[in-house]
Structure 1
């Protein structure tokens, strides 16, 4: 079983750990779409060095842009969408084997009155540890015992490829080992799909690759306007919007991720979509133009 010690052996993971962020189980935000309800739940948070927000950008420039010096707090937001008799969860947190301050989804579900047994579908944006490792509980059984699990075909193929370790730096090998273990445990309950289609009725996946090879985001269509569940296509309240050209250290294909961010920001602003980012503080907001770039506006 991959444990937290294994995770921290990797240099990148050690850098991510920083000091423990003290997020508590909570409901981050709520919204309604007619008779459908959205609840954004906290899986906790961790701190990471600001240098991870942008490769090849001076720390003083990052601090000036983000208005924060020192480590940056990375919140983990899990989206729950209820329509009819379906309870749909997007990503499922990090579980107990990732980093201090994370793994709080089960407590947040309880606070929101959502029983794990009631969850019918889990849709993954990608298979990084803080999105995927929470699929199994402390007994290595599925956290949502009655759910069907859904992931992008390219994403699963990448992480389960026998040669994946040759494609990754050594400090990401634990990511692949964890993904392979969980894919195997989910077995036939894990359904594979392609981007550009509805994975379940009313929820369509669209391609936002770059952060990982098969990263997808989801669109919830409604007469009041679309809602985008973005995963890690946008990861910071300021940097991802004001500086989409920055290249975060966590992006697998930095150039593709830049192109994806630019396209996504333009689309979200043009369509006046509500957006939910896994690492965006405040959970739900909108993309607004700000000079030659954008900003994340919450509370509207």
Structure 2
């Protein structure tokens, strides 16, 4: 089992934050209800928001709080007999203050057995490690589990440790443990296609090699589940060319951000960010950049 000591020894930047089990917000109609659930949160140094940008400039843009708190927002879509989760939180073995999804599900009146699908944006710890319960069995026993083939291949590949800095080796070890626990239930999917009717995956690789976002075609209008393509409520929008330390391929991630921001600002689609406070909002152009306006 991966303990907090092991994770921190591997160099994962993160500090304890208060646990917050809750329903963050709800969107949509009774027929297509989106419930955004908290998996808690953790704290990160301001310096992780941008490589090669002076600390004073980051502070001026992001605010003086260092470290800053980043929430974990799990999106749940209920439509008909389907109950679909987008990512499933960090589970018990990541950082203090995370792993609150089960309590938030209870707060929303959702039983694990009711979940029919879990669609992964990517396989980082705070999105993937919550897939197994304390007995290393799938937390949602009746669910289909879907992830991008390229993402699965990267994290479970024999050479993954050679392709990662030492401070990310714990990420790979955890991903391999979770993937082994899910076994053949973890289905391989391709980006750019519908994974379920009305739910299309969009290739937003860069943060990780197989990162995807999801475009939901709902009766009340389009919704985009971003994953970690846009992670900070100001920096990601006002400075999409800044390169966060968490992005594996910085230049590819910049290109993905710019494509998403352009599309979201043109379409007016609601956006749901895994790490955005309040989770849901819209994107507006602001001069040559953008801004996030909470719902």
What TM-score bracket applies, with the shorter chain setting the length? over 0.9
Q: Does structure 1 conserve the Cα–Cα contact (< 8 Å) formed by 2:51 and 2:244?
A: yes
Q: Which residue of 2 aligns with 1:100?
A: 96
Matches within 5 A, 1:192-231: 192-231=188-227
Q: Which residue of 2 aligns with 1:5?
A: 5
Q: Partners in 2 of 1:171 and 1:69 — Cα distance?
A: 24
Once structures 1 and 2 are overlaid, which stretch shifts more, 111-120 or 133-142?
A: 133-142
Q: Does structure 2 conserve the Cα–Cα contact (< 8 Å) formed by 1:149 and 1:190?
A: yes
In the TM superposition, residue 9 of structure 1 has moved relative to its aligned partner by 1.0
Q: Figure out how many residues of one structure are paired with residues of the other and give that number.
A: 295
TM-score of the superposition, structure 1-length normalised? 0.96
Q: Partners in 1 of 2:4 and 2:119 — Cα distance?
A: 24
In the TM superposition, residue 228 of structure 1 has moved relative to its aligned partner by 0.4
Matches within 5 A, 1:77-156: 77-156=73-152
Cα displacement string for residues 258-295 of structure 1 (whole angstroms, at most 9, x for unaligned residues): 01101110001111110000000011100011121111
Cα displacement string for residues 235-263 of structure 1 (whole angstroms, at most 9, x for unaligned residues): 00000000001100000000000011011
Instruction: Give unmatched runs, 5+ long, in structure 1.
Output: none
Could you say what the CA RMSD is over the residues aligned between the two structures, in angstroms? 1.0
In the TM superposition, residue 34 of structure 1 has moved relative to its aligned partner by 6.4
In the TM superposition, residue 3 of structure 1 has moved relative to its aligned partner by 2.0
In the TM superposition, residue 225 of structure 1 has moved relative to its aligned partner by 2.4
In the TM superposition, residue 2 of structure 1 has moved relative to its aligned partner by 1.9
Matches within 5 A, 1:1-300: 1-11=1-11, 13=12, 16-18=13-15, 20-33=16-29, 35-299=31-295
Cα displacement string for residues 206-250 of structure 1 (whole angstroms, at most 9, x for unaligned residues): 100000000000011024321000100000000000000110000
Instruction: Give unmatched runs, 5+ long, in structure 2.
Output: none
Q: Does structure 1 conserve the Cα–Cα contact (< 8 Å) formed by 2:86 and 2:121?
A: yes
What is the DSSP-based 3-state SS (H/G/I as helix, E as strand, rest coil) of the residue aligned with 1:258?
helix
